[in-house]
Amino acid sequence: MKRNVGFFLRAKTLLVGGTLVLAAMMLTSGTASADPRNFVVENDGAHSIYSLFVSPAYSDRWGPDVLGADMLAPGDTTVISFNGPLNTCEYDVKIQYVDRSQQHWWDVDLCSTDFLRADY
C-alpha cells in the first residue's frame, strides 16, 4: 500500500534477502524519477519497529508515522520514498520499537545516504 503523508513520504515494505539489494540498486540507478532523498531502512535488530518518522532537520516537530499501520519485523526492510519538492537534504529520522525504545539519526544528508540500519 502506498501512502502520501506529511512531507510527501510513503513507505512500502519489501521482502527480505535479495530484495534489499534490488531496492538499493533501484534507489541508486540514477533514473530521472528517483528522488535523491529516498532511502532503505533495514531492521537488523531483535525488536519490531512500530513507527518511523522523518522530518527536515530544521523542524522542531516530527511528521506522521510513515509506516502507518504497518510494522517492520526484524530482518525486514522498507523503502522510504519522497515525492515532494526538494527543499532540503538534511533530515532527522526517529524509529520507535514495539517496547517504546527509540533510535534517532540527526542531520542525515539523505541526498548522499541511501541506507539506514536499525540495530536495537
Give the pLDDT means over successive 10-residue stretches in the chain (120 positions): 37 41 49 83 97 96 94 97 93 97 97 96
The pTM assigned to this predicted structure is: 0.73
Amino acid, res. 96: Q
Give the CA distances from residue 48 to residues 15, 73, 76, 96, 104, in Å, rounded to whole numbers and listed in that order: 15, 4, 9, 9, 15
Residue 116 and residue 120: Cα distance in Å, rounded?
Answer: 13
The predicted structure's pLDDT at residue 1: 33
The DSSP H or E segment spanning 25 is helix 18-27
pLDDT of 16: 39
pLDDT at 83: 87
Q: Report the CATH number of the 9-118 domain.
A: 2.60.40
74: CB partners within 8 A, 6+ apart: 43, 44, 45, 46, 47, 48
Q: What is the pLDDT of residue 26?
A: 52
What is the rounded CA–CA span in Å between residue 79 and residue 14? 7
Domain edges within the chain: 9-118
